[in-house]
Amino acid sequence: MTFLTLLLQAPTSGGIMQLVFPVAIGLVLYFFMIRPQQRKTAEAKAFRESLVKGTRVVTIGGLHGTLVEVGPETVLLEVERGQRLRFDRSAISRVAGSTTTGETVATTNA
């Protein structure tokens, strides 16, 4: 018998350990990838539902403006001197002046 034949005929050991490793990987994936993404999606949905007229916002394309009209599916954004553009609610990224990473913007006076 060759060494390879002996390895192939070796009895399997660990029974329950063979299940623990895949389950552990599944839990790690859930808690570090899936759950945070679900939380982020829920926060974005809550933010978009809380939009009110007069709020200064930034779109996902980087356009800054003030909400003039808020509808169930769309918003009307005034960008400059009466120029108004209609966007889907999902195009609103954040409130103008807020940072998404929680960083503070430092200003210096010269």
Average pLDDT for residues 75-101, to the nearest whole number?
87
pLDDT digits (tens, 9 = 90+) for 11-47: 666 677 778 888 999 999 999 999 999 999 999 999 9
Q: What is the DSSP letter of 12?
A: P
pLDDT at residue 65 in the model: 94
Contact 57, 51 (CB under 8 A): yes
In whole angstroms, what separates CA 62 from the centre of its chain?
17
Q: Is residue 2 part of a domain?
A: no
Considering 6, 23, 50, which residue would you say is the last residue of a domain? 50
Is 108 found in the same domain as 69?
Answer: yes
| b (16+ CB within 10 A) / e for 83-96 | eeeebebebbbeee
Q: Is residue 94 part of a domain?
A: yes
CATH number at residue 75: 2.30.30
Full domain range(s) for residue 23: 15-50
pLDDT at residue 108 in the model: 45
Is 76 found in the same domain as 42?
Answer: no
Average pLDDT for residues 87-105, to the nearest whole number?
74
Is 62 found in the same domain as 36?
Answer: no
Lowest mean pLDDT among 29-33, 51-55, 96-100: 96-100
Is 46 found in the same domain as 61?
Answer: no
Contact 86, 76 (CB under 8 A): yes
Q: Is residue 75 part of a domain?
A: yes
Is 67 found in the same domain as 46?
Answer: no
- Tell me how far apart the alpha carbons of residues 93 and 58 are, in angstroms, rounded to a whole number: 6
Q: Is the pTM of this model over 0.75?
A: no
> Could you tell me the end-to-end alpha-carbon distance of the chain, in angstroms, rounded to an integer?
85
- Residue 2, pLDDT > 90, answer no
- How many domains is the chain partitioned into structurally? 2
Contact 34, 74 (CB under 8 A): no
Is 26 found in the same domain as 75?
Answer: no
